[in-house]
Amino acid sequence: MTGQSPTSRVQSRALETRLGPLQLRNPIATASGTFGYGLEFTDFVDLSKIGALCTKGLSLEPHAGNSPPRICETPAGMLNAIGLQNIGVQAFLRDKLPRLRELGATVVANVWGDTEEDYVAVVGALEEAGGLAAIELNISCPNVEKGGMLFGNSPTATASLVSRVRAATRRTIVVKLSPNAPDLVESARAARDSGADILSLVNTFVGMAIDPVTARPRLSFGTGGLSGPAIKPLALRMVFQVARALPGVPLMGIGGISDLSDVIEFLAAGASAVQIGTANFRDPAVSGRLVDELEAYCRDRDTTVSALVGRAQRAWNGGEAGAEG
Amino acid sequence: MRADHRAVLLRRRLFSPGFFSVKFQAPALARDVLPGQFVMLEVAGHLRPYLRRAYSVADAEPAAGEVELLVRTIGSGTAALEGLAEGSAASLLGPLGNGFSLAGLGPNARVAVVAGGIGAAPFPLLFRALRGAGISADLFLGGRNAAELDFRSRFDGIVSGETVLSTDDGSLGEKGFVTDTFARRAAQGPSYARLFACGPMPMFVALARVVERAGVPAEFSTEAAMGCGFGACLGCVIPGREKPFVISCVEGPILPPEKIAWERL
């Protein structure tokens, strides 16, 4: 069984990927909110094998989250309104991060708050911690009353927040964008211009399900974030669009990625790495298996991940349709 | 330990329309699973249902390498399992959750097992463990009507104590709710060292009051829609007494009623 100690097997260098200041051993990461604090998965995944894991969104204080029902299945996906339940940044530093470090995990700490000051405070609490590869700012959670998505829905608010955090940390900053923003490209541009090193996209789409008998929403919050294979074409289009509008900005693609074909598509659209989300619920071993499958794919085709990134952009430009080099 | 077991469906047994049991060949799971634990089952190749479904393990026979689930078809997940052909494979992630506790029960102890409808699912394995420990157990099994309790034949010969049936419409056994049936028996007769229960939330709400009054320590196998089953999605929380929410899949599914904030359900 995998998972109890860092892998001894050396991964192919063909899988390495660079996102600005962040070098990953491979492009398979796991998405915040779908991978707990990583330790929930150690029976199923060798955490040192995947490119990175993004933690559950951390706030300054522990947060209880929304009342149940919090989740509801929908065709090819699910709605959630967990409401950012988490143990708080101090408990993460004390109880989770040391073990993650022992296991050789590459950790991206996902951070959220109600106000700019909250974000800065959480980032500040993480500043001296060893073993963190980057900070991911969640400006796109649709399931809280304050903060969250509000920072992602306006380029002005995005710019203001990212600038504040940029001034407060030397760490690599990932900004996780909302597909619910009125103009995703403008939000992406605002994040980049304000100091984001990497953009991750997309968070969940605001959706709803109604019980046909009672006519009440199936989630206590009323609405929830839609994820899973149902959103993949939408997310892929958004990654393609942002990669096209902002060439050179490192992107992590997220949205319904479940199998190797999905990974290859997001890389082709312009993402230098991907985050596996809802698929982790259905198959907790999926991230590790995708690393193996991607390695075999690159070996069989004598190619590298770097060569796979942006192929669809080049093909669309009329250059090297389908070429991997 | 927890693992994703590739299991072959050996046999299906139909009790009445929509009520069935399935036996899977899953030797490691059959060996490891404890009474009250559950699995997350995936019927491969489906986008709907997309997520796995949680099933209590009804029984396990380590010698035969077999694991049994007792199921009522209620939605797309259970319908997919009902449609799975014998000889087909499915993935069983488990064993998950904490399981019932027999700790502190001596061989002369008497316990009550209270089941509302298909909430009886986890109890064959529990009866097996109770028998092994020499503990006498009465089964209180309630349902809406006789037809919905046809699966009671699954309990023939495995209940060491008395079996008390009840139905809402009186078509089988005593008329009324299983919680009332249990409350009457507990008031008159045996002193129960522990109560194990599984059923719908309204049953638990009533039963929590009954066991509190009767002073019977209880373990409830709680029901909550689960996204993952191993503590990652935080979808299956139940309002808690000592903290805002209890995570059903990892802190439960077996919970004492005093840990649940019933008024916030």
Instruction: Answer whether residue A3 shows pLDDT above 80.
Output: no
Could you say which DSSP state residue A82 is in? -
Instruction: State the fold for domain B110-221.
Output: Rossmann fold (3.40.50)
- Burial bucket for residue B65 (CB in 10 Å: 0-12, 13-18, 19+): middle
Indicate whether A189 belongs to any domain: yes
Give the H/E segment covering residue A158: helix A155-168
Give which of A1, A61, A258, A282 to mutate to test B binding, by max B Cβ within 10 Å: A282
Could you say which DSSP state residue A92 is in? I
Side chain identity at residue A147, one-letter code: G
**3-class secondary structure, A91:** helix
- Between B223 and A113, the more confident residue is A113
Distance, in Å, from the CA atom of A270 to the CA atom of A65, rounded to the nearest integer, reads: 34
In chain B, where the domains are located: 3-96, 110-221
In this prediction, residue A4 carries a pLDDT of 44
Q: Which residue among the candidates A54, A72, A141, A298 is catalytic per the annotation?
A: A141
Q: pTM for this structure? A: 0.94
Q: B191-245: per-residue pLDDT in tens?
A: 999 999 999 999 999 999 999 999 999 999 998 999 999 999 999 999 999 999 9
Mean confidence (pLDDT) of chain A: 94
Instruction: Check CB contact of B47 with chain A, cutoff 8 Å.
Output: yes
Indicate whether A321 belongs to any domain: no
Instruction: Check CB contact of A37 with chain B, cutoff 8 Å.
Output: no
Name A111's bridge partners.
Answer: A58, A137
Name A77's bridge partners.
Answer: A74
Instruction: State the fold for domain B3-96.
Output: Elongation Factor Tu (Ef-tu); domain 3 (2.40.30)
- Residues of chain B contacting residue A278, judged by C-beta atoms under 8 Å apart: 50
DSSP of A10-77:
PPPGGG-EEETTEEESSSEEE-TTSSTTSGGGTTT--TTTSSEEEPSPB-SS-B--PPSP-EEEETTE
Instruction: Answer whether residue A320 shows pLDDT above 80.
Output: no
Parent domain of A288: 13-316
Indicate whether A265 belongs to any domain: yes
Q: B246-264: per-residue pLDDT in tens?
A: 999 999 999 999 999 999 9
Indicate whether A24 belongs to any domain: yes
Could you say which DSSP state residue A190 is in? H
Yes or no, beta carbons of A40 and B231 under 8 Å apart: yes
- Residues of chain A contacting residue B244, judged by C-beta atoms under 8 Å apart: 64-65
In this prediction, residue A324 carries a pLDDT of 46
Number of domains making up chain A: 1
Instruction: Check CB contact of A189 with chain B, cutoff 8 Å.
Output: no
In this prediction, residue A267 carries a pLDDT of 98
Side chain identity at residue A249, one-letter code: V
ipTM of the complex: 0.94
Does residue A54 carry a catalytic annotation? no
Indicate whether A324 belongs to any domain: no
Yes or no, beta carbons of B234 and A69 under 8 Å apart: no
Indicate whether A285 belongs to any domain: yes
A274 φ/ψ angles, rounded to the nearest 5 degrees:
-130, 160
Indicate whether A196 belongs to any domain: yes
Indicate whether A117 belongs to any domain: yes
pLDDT bin (cut points 50, 70, 90) of residue B190 is confident
Mean confidence (pLDDT) of chain B: 95
Contact present, A45 and A284 (Cβ < 8 Å): yes
